[in-house]
Amino acid sequence: MGRISGKSPIGVGFLSEMAEEIILPKQEELYADPELREMIDAGVFFGRKKSRTHPRMRPYILGNRNGIELINLVKTREDMDKALALIKEKVLSGGTVLFVGTQPPAEEVKNVAVEFSFPVVVNRWLGGTLTNSKIILGRLDYYKKLKNDLESGAFKDKYTKKELLEIEREAKRLGELFGGLEGYSGRLDVMVVVDANLHHTAVREANKMNIPVVAFINTDTDPDDVKYGVVGNNKAKTSINWFLGKIRTAIKEAMAARQAAPPIEAVKAPETV
């Protein structure tokens, strides 16, 4: 679906009609609220088909238009605020955020992760990344060394052209598996996922390891699967970029606050007599 504006018959006008029942502010308030207007323009309110909606998602549904569920943006904003508060808390204390988004519309996820030197998965989730981290980290170290040796020319005088070609192919294969995880040390404080259904293995591993998950989920997801789920249109690039843009801003603010904070002086233990 294309970009939705406030003038669209399925945009602000329709949402304001539904607002009379309970959930959203009236039309003039929708226009006046810049956050809601931003979400509408990004198409965040588009859910999935009614037949695909998870039963536990009913409280997040505002209405239905042409067979498509329309998401309650007020609840989305509330959940987004909770997720951002968590991310700020973790980043402020020096925590690491892992980003996961392998679908083409989520390509911005790589830019956000790289901007803050956080690990990211953009090709496919490697099973055991969190639950079997010892082996994964060993393979990751091997990939990083192989990559560095190729770039430095360390193999140039040791192998034939044919052997070097095989090594390059191996490095490329490993790069598809581990590329983006170079900064992963085995410690994670929060995981950000675009589409929990698509990346269900990653979410399951994070839950098993008690790592909080912030996920952009749609109406076809069980909200109980993700503690910090943000309901919205996770299929459209504009909507995904809205989600990632909020997270980028939260991380920037947390990092700026951390840098501005005065250093903590070590407390000297009292001398014993």
Contact criterion met (CB below 8 Å) for 88 and 246: no
Q: Who's near 261: CB < 8 A, 6+ residues apart?
A: none
Angle, alpha carbons 59-64-68 (nearest 5°): 105
Can you give the pLDDT at residue 23? 44
pLDDT, tens digit, 9 for 90 and up, residues 93-108: 999 999 999 999 999 9
Angle, alpha carbons 264-269-273 (nearest 5°): 165
| pTM of the predicted structure, to 2 decimals | 0.83
pLDDT, tens digit, 9 for 90 and up, residues 37-86: 999 999 999 999 989 999 999 999 988 888 899 999 999 999 999 999 99
Is 252 or 5 the better-scoring residue by pLDDT?
A: 252
Lowest mean pLDDT among 160-174, 211-225, 258-272: 258-272
Percent of the chain with pLDDT over 90: 69
Can you give the pLDDT at residue 261? 75
